[in-house]
Amino acid sequence: MSFVTRFAPSPTGYLHLGHALSSLTAFDAAREAGGRFILRIEDIDQGRARPEFEAAIFEDLAWLGVEWEEPVRRQSAHLADYEAALQSLIARNLVYRCFRTRKEVAEAIANAPHGAAEEMFRGEALPPDEEAAKLAAGEAFAWRLSLKKARAALGPAYFALVFEDENGPVRAEPEKHGDVILARKDFPASYHLASVWDDALQGVTHVIRGEDLRDAAHLHVLLQKLLDLPQPVYRHHRLVLGEDGKRLAKRDAAATLRALRERGKTPEDVRAMLEA
C-alpha cells in the first residue's frame, strides 16, 4: 500500500517543540512505511504569513534532520485551485453568502436554543432581493458551507460518513463545526478548503497531525465527499505542553527550535525532550 504523509505548517511564527513532534512523527512514519514525506507551506493567510518565518521553517526542519520532497507547494501560489473548488460548491448551491459580522455571529449563537459554541453557527442565504441590495452596496461577506444543503445533497451517505483514525473507525459529525467559512469576499479559501484540496492533489494517504486538529477531520471528510476527493487515514499525536501545562503556542519563545538551538541543544536533545 502506498503511504504519503505531510507536515503543513503556516509561516506565522517560528516552529516550536510541538511542530517538531508533528514533523518528526510524520517523517518517521513515512520512513518506517517506506513511503513519502511532503512539506507544504500553508500561507493563504497573507495578513499573517511572513517570508522570514517560511525561511525559518526550512532551516529549522533541515536542522532537525527532516527531509522533504522538492518542490514544496506554497498555497499562496495556487489560489485559483481553491477558488475553483469553491466555485463547484457554489454551482451546486452547497454554500451561501453570510454578511454577518463576527459580533452578529456571536449574538446569533448566544441566542441559539442550546447555547451553541462559537464555531457552531448555522445560517442560510438571505432572500435574493436582500442579498442583491447588500452586494450592490459592496458589503463584505463570507461563503459558508451549508450543513443543511450538504445533508440534503448527500442523503443517507451524509450519515454514513466514517473515517479512520488511530482509534479505529469514527462516525463523522460535521455538526461539531456548524456552517464553517470556506472563503471570504476578498480571500479565496479557508484553511479547511485549501488543506483538504491539497491533501487530495498531493496524494496524501495519511494525515498525521496534533490532537488539536482531531475535530477538523469530522469536517474534512464531509468536504472530501462533497468535492469527490479520496479520503485519507487520520492519525493524531499528543500535544506538547509548556511549563504552565498549557499547549505550546507560537508566542512561547523559549520553546522555539531556534531558541533551543541557540541554547546549544542538538536535534538528538529535541528528540529526547519529545520522548520524555
Question: Would you count residue 9 as binding ligand GLU (CB under 6 A)?
Answer: yes
Q: Among 268, 58, 113, which residue's Cα sits nearest to residue 276? A: 268
Min CB(212)–ligand GLU separation in Å: 8
Distance between CA atoms of residues 71 and 163, nearest Å: 30
Between the alpha carbon of residue 238 and those of residues 5, 19, 42, 187, 275, the distances in Å are 17, 11, 21, 32, 11
Min CB(40)–ligand GLU separation in Å: 8
Distance between CA atoms of residues 78 and 252, nearest Å: 31
In the range 191-220, which residues lie near ligand GLU by CB under 6 A? 195, 209, 213
Instruction: Choose the binding region for ligand GLU from 4-12, 51-59, 227-235, 260-268 (rule: CB under 6 A).
Output: 4-12
Complex with ligand GLU: residue 28 or 131, whichever CB lies closer: 28
Distance between CA atoms of residues 103 and 101, nearest Å: 5
What is the x/- site pattern for ligand GLU, positions 111-140, by CB under 6 A? ------------------------------
Question: Would you count residue 239 as binding ligand GLU (CB under 6 A)?
Answer: no
In the range 37-96, which residues lie near ligand GLU by CB under 6 A? 42
Task: Select the residue interacting with ligand GLU from 4, 5, 8, 54 (CB under 6 A).
Answer: 8
Question: Would you count residue 224 as binding ligand GLU (CB under 6 A)?
Answer: no
Min CB(159)–ligand GLU separation in Å: 25
Min CB(213)–ligand GLU separation in Å: 6
Complex with ligand GLU: residue 79 or 153, whichever CB lies closer: 79
Distance between CA atoms of residues 103 and 189, nearest Å: 22
Instruction: Choose the binding region for ligand GLU from 5-13, 27-35, 89-97, 142-150 (rule: CB under 6 A).
Output: 5-13
Query: Do you know the residue count of the chain?
Result: 276
Min CB(207)–ligand GLU separation in Å: 6
**Angle ∠(45,46,48) on CA atoms, nearest 5:** 75
Q: Among 227, 210, 199, which residue's Cα sits nearest to residue 87? A: 227
Min CB(77)–ligand GLU separation in Å: 16
Is the link from the previous residue into 71 a cis peptide, with omega within 30 of 0? yes
Complex with ligand GLU: residue 98 or 221, whichever CB lies closer: 221
Axis-axis angle for helices 51-64, 267-275 (nearest 10)? 80
Instruction: Choose the binding region for ligand GLU from 6-14, 103-111, 142-150, 182-190 (rule: CB under 6 A).
Output: 6-14
SS in 3 state form for 27-96? HHHHHHHCCEEEEEECCCCCCCCCHHHHHHHHHHHHHHCCCCCCCCEEHHHHHHHHHHHHHHHHHCCCEE
Distance between CA atoms of residues 196 and 273, nearest Å: 31
Question: Would you count residue 149 as binding ligand GLU (CB under 6 A)?
Answer: no
Question: Would you count residue 10 as binding ligand GLU (CB under 6 A)?
Answer: yes
**Positions in the binding site for ligand GLU (CB under 6 A):** 8-10, 42, 195, 209, 213
